[in-house]
Structure formats: C-alpha cells, structure tokens
Amino acid sequence: MTEIAEKIKRLARDRKDFAFESGELREKSGYTLGYERPLIVRCFDSRLDGIFGSFVKENRWSHKDVISLPGGARALASDDPADAASKQAILEAIDVSVRAHDARWILLTIHFDCKGYGVAFPSEEAERERHRSDLATAVRRVREKLPAEFFVEGRYVDGEGIHPV
C-alpha cells in the first residue's frame, strides 16, 4: 500500500483532519481509492435535486451512486420496526455499491422539512438537533459494518446547501 493510501486509511479510521470535499481531497492527496466515486444516501424529495446537482458539480464527480428513498439516512438511525425494510434496503444497496463500484466514501444525508419524520418539530433548532443526532447514529451504524478504510460521513441538507455535521 502506498504512503498516501496508508495515510488516508489512518485518517479515515481516526476520523480526524479528513478533508470533506472530493475536489479538496483530490488536490491535496492525489489518491484514488474509491473516494472519488461517492455513494450518496438521500431522500427522494425532488425539492433537493438542485442542491444535490450543485454539490455533485462543485465536487467534479463524474460518477456517483445514489440511494434515494423517503427520509434518506433517517431509517438507519431508527429502531422502529416499521423502518426495518428501509434500513435493510439501504444496507444492501451500500453493499452493492461497494462490491460493484468500489465505493469507499459514503455520504449519509438528512434534510430540513423532511416529511419522512412524520412529526412537526417545535423549532428549526429542535429539528436540526434531531437530524444531527440521527446522522451521528446512522454514521456509527454504517461504520460498524465496514472496514476502517471506508469514510462514512453525515451531512445535513438545508436550503443553503449540504453541510458536514
């Protein structure tokens, strides 16, 4: 394994000082270990299409895999039996992306005003906090299933863009 690949593996394992944007990654390290082809888990809400389109363009991704279903990564954080089928579908699709396309960078997203939650939040801050918590849980659960060289990242989507949490 090259020195760069070893460094990336260590950074992904430790989750410290890891560049978040693929363009930034490419310029800083020059490696291609599947990190340039992300797998994005997102909600199927079409209001997000422009935001995701801009994000993909900004990062110069010519290829990506997308898992798009109600609530995006929300089901991964849920312990509700009603979410079991969605959770299993996401995990199976991640497995296919990893095996078929060598995806190593997995972006789990949850967005503002998601009807998949089925609740009215008392405030925008309460909604954001719940989404941050759910993203942290979803990221942890996916990381537990993958080797250390995979980078699993949670992102919150709002009207301004796609933000690391």
- Extents of the domains making up the chain: 3-164
What is the per-residue pLDDT for 87? Answer: 95
Classify 22 as helix, strand or coil: helix
Return d(Cα 30, Cα 133) in angstroms, integer: 33
C-alpha Rg value of the chain to the nearest Å: 15
The residue among 90 and 17 whose pLDDT is bigger is: 90
Q: Is the pLDDT of residue 152 over 60?
A: yes
Does this model's pTM top 0.95? My answer is no
Average pLDDT score over the chain: 82
For residue 148, what are the CA distances in angstroms to 11, 66, 161?
9, 22, 28
Q: Which fold has domain 3-164?
A: Beta-carbonic Anhydrase; Chain A (3.40.1050)
Nearest to 78 by CA among 144, 135, 151: 135
Gap between the Cα atoms of 8 and 150, Å rounded: 10
Residue range 28-38, pLDDT digits in tens: 444 444 566 78
Distance CA 140, CA 158 (A): 22
d(CA 2, CA 137): 32
Provide mean pLDDT across the span 50-72: 88
Which amino acid is residue 159, in one-letter code?
G
Q: Note the pLDDT of residue 17.
A: 38
For residues 2 and 7, give the distance between their C-alpha atoms in angstroms, rounded to a whole number. Answer: 9
Amino acid 18: pLDDT:
41
Distance CA 31, CA 8 (A): 9
The string of pLDDT tens digits covering residues 72-118 is: 999 999 999 999 999 999 999 999 998 888 888 899 999 999 888 88
